[in-house]
Copies of this chain bind each other. A is one copy, B any other.
Amino acid sequence: MRTPLTELLGINHPIVGFNRSPGVVAAVTNAGGIGVLAASMYTPAELDAQLTWIEEQVGGRPYGVDLLVPEKFAPGDPDDLIASLRAQIPAEHLAFVRDLLAKYDIPPAPGAVLHDEILAAFNPAGAAELLDVAFQHRISLVANALGTPPPDLVARGKAAGVVVAALVGQAKHAQRQIEAGVDLLIAQGTEAGGHTGTIATMVLTPEIVDLAGDRPVLAAGGIATGRQMAAALALGAAGVWCGSVWLSSAEDIANQAIKQKFLSATSNDTLRSPTRTGKPARQLRSAWHDEWAATGSPGPLPMPLQPMLVDEAWQRIDAAAEAGHPGGVALESFFVGQVVGSFQNIRPAGDITREMAADCERTIRALAGGLGPT
């Protein structure tokens, strides 16, 4: 199948595979799509190692990276960033998280490593460090998941021949991205996993396509099968940006406890909540969200204070859930879109890619076959 996306990136299938697992990224690229690594939870040194590994796997085929560069975030003292941010977390919030873990009897996780360094860098300066690493590698695409790109990103992308992409959830965000000069827009509907707005893919995609002029637009949110991919193309998208579907892939690094919860979830089991990152993000609904919604909850803090507040708690919950601890299983959650209801089994990411492309073609041919002759 040829679309403006396959032409732009020299790929066979207009499918972007967004995931934090290097194995998924390599598998999607090697299956003829393009894998994009979610880089924001890596340190610069870790990112460097992951991109080196990916390049060893893909043998010259294209891949990309995705960063999280928020426009709004709690500022800290640049000379003492972590401590100055931690000092902004109220005692009430610390007590709430401590009591929540005690209520569910979640044991300590001896192996927990605080991600303060990574989380405190959820700002343009932190993103610039990751970008420096990314541009030292042979990336074909760099995407920003929140807000307009850092000022020099577009210029660096153009100089290096790297496609600069941005996720948008509203027309006004797309307008700002176009003015900033991005090459590729990703219209992300409310049904998507992770940070997302309130407008559905079915409405948002054609709206962004009409705004974007010659720029290709990808659809994101609600796309995990070839039928949904064909629907996205009908809406005018040049391809699809898929995130959640790879959580059902063998290469995904999520623990088995959350993968099992995903496999038994329905499309009604997600919600948008700011209680994990400080900004509304769609995730699997669990007892965690009930506790934050209950009377007595202090409510979430802004990014990056909220993720700093809950980072250790989530490592403990993940470890407890993985060990089959009932409290851990009750609280266990991760970012996922409404397509989680369609997960049937765990498959290789390359099979998912190829099957989606083949089913999309089959769907389009069947639709055309239902029309009379012109």
Contacts and interface: CB of A to CB of B under 8 A. Distances in A.
B234 A222 contact: no
Interface stretch (A50-58, A121-129, A194-202): A194-202
Contact of A268 (B3, B199, B367): B199
A232 interface: yes
A341 interface: yes
A268 B227 contact: no
Interface in A292-344: 337-339, 341-342
A281 to B, nearest CB: 15
A352 to B, nearest CB: 16
A200 B353 CA distance: 23
Best-buried of A197, A223, A338 by chain B (most CB within 10 Å): A338
Interface residues of A, number: 50
Contacts of A228: 202-203, 206, 234-235
A1 interface: yes
A204 B371 contact: no
Interface string A226-268: 0110111111100000000000000000000000000000111
Given A365-B368, A371-B361, A338 B234 contact: no
Nearest to A266: B171
Nearest to A272: B198
A301 B236 CA distance: 42
A43 interface: no
Give the 8 A-B CB pairs with smallest separation, nearest first: A202-B222, A368-B368, A231-B231, A191-B200, A230-B234, A231-B234, A203-B338, A200-B200
Interface of A: 1-3, 170-172, 189-191, 197-204, 206-207, 221-223, 225, 227-228, 230-236, 266-268, 337-339, 341-342, 361, 363-365, 367-368, 370-372, 374
29 contacts: A1-B371, A3-B370, A170-B268, A171-B267, A171-B268, A171-B341, A197-B268, A198-B268, A200-B201, A200-B221, A202-B221, A202-B231, A203-B228, A203-B342, A206-B227, A206-B228, A207-B267, A227-B234, A228-B235, A230-B231, A230-B234, A231-B234, A233-B234, A233-B370, A234-B364, A364-B368, A364-B371, A365-B374, A367-B368
